Amino acid sequence: MFLNLETVPHAAKGYVKLVEQPDVLQALRISGYRTMELIHSIPEAKCDLRYAEGKWSIGEVLCHIMDAERIFAYRALTFARNDKTHLPGFDEVEYGNHLNATGRSLRQLGDEMQHLRNSSVDLFESFNEEMLVRKGKANNSEVSVVALGFIIAGHEIHHCKILQERYLSL
């Protein structure tokens, strides 16, 4: 399913513009594959690396990506099932304060990310065309199911770029 940018909330357009694939399933698969490549290239000793004081560690960034994916996938499921409930936003700072990444290895986090992405791909594969174009309200913005898939991929791409540019260039 292809995306109409009008179904993407303003706050997420920057993420979606990072996605090169025109199809949501391709976008999810390819961004997930590239993230796994990146994780496998990072030495285990860097899992707790922070590029500056007060910034998340590499492991915490990966946990944040997973938290966001779970939330966006739940929103997609809710709207695909035609549930009209207005869903709240989430406080990424508060979530970040409780990530429980310390002591977890990159391998553990990578395995969890792979399982999560496989589940997200399965979820989006289960949606028919009618479901993909459904919209709902989350964080006070209207968003389509298919847009949420692109947001998952774009959010991941965004944070992987940060990992490459700010953490792995040290």
pLDDT in tens, 38-97: 999 999 999 999 999 999 999 999 999 999 999 999 999 999 999 999 999 999 999 999
DSSP string covering 30-49: HHHHHHHHHHHHS-GGGTT-
Radius of gyration of the chain (CA): 16
Spell out the domains of the chain, with CATH numbers in brackets. 5-167 (1.20.120.450)
Residue 42 to residues 12, 37, 100, 107: CA-CA distances in angstroms?
28, 9, 20, 10
CB-facing half-sphere around the CA of 42: CA atoms within 13 A: 28
Rounded to two decimals, what is the model's pTM? 0.96
pLDDT at 13: 94
pLDDT in tens, 92-132: 999 999 999 988 999 999 999 999 999 999 999 999 999 99
